Amino acid sequence: MMKEEVDFYPLITQAYSEHPLAKAVVEHAKWLWQKHGSSREQVTEVRDFEVHPGTGVSGKVGDRRVLVGNKRLMNALNVSVGYEVESYISEN
């Protein structure tokens, strides 16, 4: 998977969120795509979108399940978090 895809999937999933911070991130990304002439002109549909109150959101983009959230969401959905991420979380 290319970095552009890694950045795109969580972003497009956030587009379905009602959270004000998520909306601001999505609007800024759209502005950047327009400014830099990105090939991402059309928005991909997110299926099975779900809000996990206080922890994040999830959905399917294409054939990929996308989770955007905090450590509690990852733990609740049995997603292992690598050492580098654990270290970053504990330091910040």
Q: Given CA atoms 16, 21, 23, 24 in this order, what sign does their dihedral have?
A: negative
Q: pLDDT confidence of 39, banded at 50, 70, 90?
A: low
Q: What is the pLDDT of residue 62?
A: 83
- CATH fold of 3-91: Calcium-transporting ATPase, cytoplasmic domain N (3.40.1110)
- Beta-bridged to residue 66, according to DSSP, are 59
Q: pLDDT confidence of 36, banded at 50, 70, 90?
A: confident
**From residue 63, how far is each of 35, 53, 67, 75 by CA, in Å?**
29, 24, 13, 22
Closest CA to 66 of 87, 86, 52: 52
pTM of this prediction?
A: 0.69
Residue with tokens 């327009």: 34
Structural domain boundaries in the chain: 3-91
Q: pLDDT confidence of 48, banded at 50, 70, 90?
A: very high
Rg (CA), the chain: 14
* Cα diameter, the chain: 38
